[in-house]
Amino acid sequence: MALALLRAILGPSEYDRILAINMFGTKTVLLLAVLCFAMGRPDFLDLALAYALINFIGILAVLEFFKLKANGEERDHNA
């Protein structure tokens, strides 16, 4: 998880950072699921699923933002 966080901070490109944040979120969901199994507490699994859904929606929103940003830059260059 530390390497994913390091990649999210250092980059080199925006897409590397997005992938690293997505990987960090996925590893967090897996960690919550393993803790749920190890501790015998099934209520943590609901928390892991909710976090996975929030992570997925958040990544889609960030990708849409970067897509619109890229389209705006292309439009500025053509003008």
List the domain boundaries for the chain.
2-78
CB 48 within 8 A of CB 32: yes
Q: What are 33's two structure tokens?
A: 């699921």
- Please give the model's pTM, rounded to 2 decimal places: 0.72
CA 38 from centroid of its chain's CA atoms: 25
Q: What are 16's two structure tokens?
A: 């590397």
Tell me the pLDDT tens digit for each residue of 13-49.
888 888 888 999 999 999 999 999 999 988 888 888 9
Average model confidence (pLDDT) for the chain? 86
**Other C-beta atoms within 10 Å of 8: how many?**
17
Predicted local confidence at residue 60, as pLDDT = 92
Q: Given a cut of 80, is residue 61 above it in pLDDT?
A: yes
